[in-house]
Structure 1
């Protein structure tokens, strides 16, 4: 019979400290999320302060801005070991608390005086000069106000305008609008149909439609050619599915027209706007702020940090020195805040030093891409960059996550520059990005009436010494958002 025993053994196990765990978490955040994290810490930590430029010396401020715009050599960038070190608090205090408060008061007064002077000189508030976006409902109501309508007809039309969504469509049925109108007597369905027709006659064409088909039909009169207009009306009204599938041959058979005529009509239909409401109001465009800017300086490609993404935060040396002089066991919470403040300053510097080092290493490997475009992209793995920078592969993966680089060829995510190596027939290596560039060039130079199939593209690549399967070509074509060859064919 076995007996239970209790024993002790020594074992070494590697773990991450709370400081390192936080640094890893902050490293993989995007610039926007990281800035928000730093500002939240800044609001609740008394030992941190925003590092704002000195407005009393505008000449120095302009000089600093010029220096930030001017590319700097990567060799001068601080290393990770240098930025982690935070000088002792006893040697950092250079001003007294009273001088710091007086300086802040003078800065606040200068801000107030200068802003009042600017408002007095201009004669109007800057906010009053801000352009206001014109909404779809405002645009339609202005057109209704110039029509000779009775008060009741205008009220019913305004109900329809107010029920349109951002696309410009009426998603409610007419009976549902009876209760929304709130008129006495209640509007009849005939009055609602007449009001709907009035709104649909306004600009932009296609507004207040209840479906995509109705929206396109409302815009058919825009086509100038009467023959094309009639064919377009028939296609949208009866053969919408064939239109969506771009079945030119099927439409030609049903319309008793040549494929070239159908193709010309389809080209006119493609110019119609299926979402007329998007012309008004905000366009909801998502902009990307690059973390790194690449420029050619004295013949060498150099990566520099974008100054606008670096949070301007520093340790408040006055408060830190006062806490050190009066520190006791009852101030454990303030001690935790001071440690967090030091970690935050160190993490900000370490994060951007690592991003800059990794970006410069990528630039050094992908110089041909910057010179000649995607076709010159080299195969690149995380291990190569990690060995060059002196960090782990996982660190490089976190650095390249949600980080963007601005180059003369456009803005790219850092992950874009990494791709596995594919062996060519001659024994060389080619990156997947370069192959996608070749496929894109082949499709762009193909004949419109005889587009290349995926199999034919694979055969042409093989003749160039690049062995790629047909399904791989299909995958790369889909990544490039290019349709299949059947839908790319145009009839002469």
Structure 2
């Protein structure tokens, strides 16, 4: 093969570092963006936080703007002020003076500010969350169990799981017999003592015993208590499917007594240990605010998430006076990176605001009338409206949240597929899910709607949805099937 040279013309898209940085910042959440800004501040001497945004505009300080030959607008402030007798101290004290010569470095305890006293009070009264084990152990130390019986009680408490159940009682009992050589009567006595602790129903071996323990602790005068105990002991497994009339006939009581018993059973706690479990709270700060001003919907970015960084006012001047040295090249590189970073942050905010405005314009019916008025919308609709790529819309809506008068929603929430209606139009999948939730909430407690029945009722409202689609949406909403929605527990 003969080697030859040829010239070809073509177009190609190259991912410059600035473009890659802009794409990366666009898809970051508010928390990740704050971390990215902090890393940029730590690694670039040209960047600093713009604290002037949070200061009072009425401050007497004057700020002049000047531009150097690098094209960067520099903010020059007044010289630092000297407070108190700083100048006098500097002239009167000798060179080898110590701070203790002019300052009291050993204040008395009574000289603390009110804030210090408040912090001391909070530190003295701060306590960690109590676990179920700690709660039971404290009661064990106050009960009458002593010696080996106290050891048995401690072993039983240690075997109670996070939900308050003693599910592995048989294996625990075998271990106690081998370790302490105790009898079954002693184990049962210790178990009875632990089961009498708070919360009621703790250390139960199954659901039936848990409910029994709670019913035994109720007063005999509680309406439906006796009947509820009989239902739990003999009819718990088939209680959800058995009509009240059948249960009333079997127990020789009135139907109203069965209704009182069911209500009482629903009020019991099937998981006694859950109030002591750790509940992690995930707080989400919105990236976009939406509010209604008369007949218009206004969209604004959360000022807490907007970038508050600027180029330092000192270092660009040093570049102007520097010579052609490695330090100058390093500082010029930092200056260029700072410019690109600030430009990428501004581009991120602009894109996010444009996408949010387009979403609000498309989903105005949802904001005014609710989820059932949600319109079907995909990423392509917003990208065509704004003239940007679908991947840009996807990055702009990833891990971003919008605060509306109807609640806090992820931007991805407003995108959903469409389902055909009987009149030839389309309906949003989110709207269909809202209809399913409404129908399930209004269904009779003793006759829950099946998926086929839900499909028929949705069809009566003008939307054609298959039973399998209804089942998929129902499972996505976390709604149990019809035969499970008759559970005695709400």
TM-score category of the 2 structures, normalised to the smaller one = 0.7 to 0.9
Q: Distance in 2 between matches of 1:423 and 1:175?
A: 58
Compute the RMSD of aligned alpha carbons: 4.3
Partner residue of 2:302 out of 291, 301, 306: 306
| 1:284 and 2:280 are equivalent in the alignment | yes
Please give the secondary structure, in 2, of the residue aligned with 1:294.
strand
Partner residue of 1:348 out of 342, 345, 348: 345
Inter-CA distance 196–486: structure 2 relative to 1 (3 Å threshold): closer
Partner residue of 1:484 out of 471, 481, 486: 481
Q: Distance in 2 between matches of 1:57 and 1:389?
A: 37
Please give the secondary structure, in 2, of the residue aligned with 1:487.
coil
Inter-CA distance 306–5: structure 2 relative to 1 (3 Å threshold): same
Please give the secondary structure, in 2, of the residue aligned with 1:284.
coil
1:427 aligned partner: 424
1:16 aligned partner: 15
Matches within 5 A, 1:68-467: 90-95=72-77, 99=80, 117-120=113-116, 122=118, 124=120, 126-128=122-124, 132-150=128-146, 153-154=149-150, 157-158=153-154, 160-161=156-157, 164-169=160-165, 187-190=180-183, 194-209=189-204, 215-216=210-211, 218-221=213-216, 224=222, 225-235=225-235, 239=237, 246-248=240-242, 256=250, 268-280=264-276, 282-326=278-322, 328-331=324-327, 332-467=329-464
Q: Deviations over 1:241-266 (max 9, x none)?
A: x67xx5447xx79x956997888766
Structure 2 residues not aligned, in runs of 5+: 60-68, 87-110
Q: Distance in 2 between matches of 1:91 and 1:221?
A: 78
8 Å Cα contact 1:220/1:232 also seen in 2: no
8 Å Cα contact 2:74/2:312 also seen in 1: no
2:35 aligned partner: 36
8 Å Cα contact 2:153/2:191 also seen in 1: yes
Q: Distance in 2 between matches of 1:43 and 1:248?
A: 68
8 Å Cα contact 1:200/1:206 also seen in 2: yes
Cα drift, residue 395 of structure 1: 1.0
Please give the secondary structure, in 2, of the residue aligned with 1:485.
coil
**Alignment coverage as a number of residue pairs:** 441
Cα drift, residue 305 of structure 1: 1.9
Greater RCO, CA 8 A, separation 6+ = 1
Q: Distance in 2 between matches of 1:266 and 1:188?
A: 43
Q: Deviations over 1:2-54 (max 9, x none)?
A: x4656555343212212212221221222222222222333333333333468
* Structure-1-length-normalised TM-score: 0.74
8 Å Cα contact 1:220/1:233 also seen in 2: no
Cα drift, residue 232 of structure 1: 0.9
Structure 1 residues not aligned, in runs of 5+: 61-86, 106-114
Inter-CA distance 149–490: structure 2 relative to 1 (3 Å threshold): closer
Q: Distance in 1 between matches of 2:361 and 2:174?
A: 68
Q: Distance in 1 between matches of 2:324 and 2:151?
A: 73
8 Å Cα contact 1:136/1:277 also seen in 2: yes
Cα drift, residue 235 of structure 1: 4.5
Cα drift, residue 177 of structure 1: 10
Rg comparison, structure with higher value: 2
Inter-CA distance 134–417: structure 2 relative to 1 (3 Å threshold): same
Cα drift, residue 373 of structure 1: 0.6
Q: Distance in 1 between matches of 2:3 and 2:113?
A: 84
Q: Distance in 1 between matches of 2:52 and 2:174?
A: 60
Inter-CA distance 141–451: structure 2 relative to 1 (3 Å threshold): closer
8 Å Cα contact 1:174/1:192 also seen in 2: no
Q: Distance in 1 between matches of 2:309 and 2:209?
A: 56
Please give the secondary structure, in 2, of the residue aligned with 1:92.
strand
Higher mean C-alpha deviation, range 146-155 or range 277-286: 146-155
Q: Distance in 2 between matches of 1:315 and 1:178?
A: 72
* Structure-2-length-normalised TM-score: 0.74
Cα drift, residue 203 of structure 1: 0.7
Cα drift, residue 99 of structure 1: 4.0
Please give the secondary structure, in 2, of the residue aligned with 1:383.
helix
8 Å Cα contact 1:89/1:320 also seen in 2: no
Q: Deviations over 1:238-295 (max 9, x none)?
A: x4xx67xx5447xx79x95699788876654444334333312641132322221211
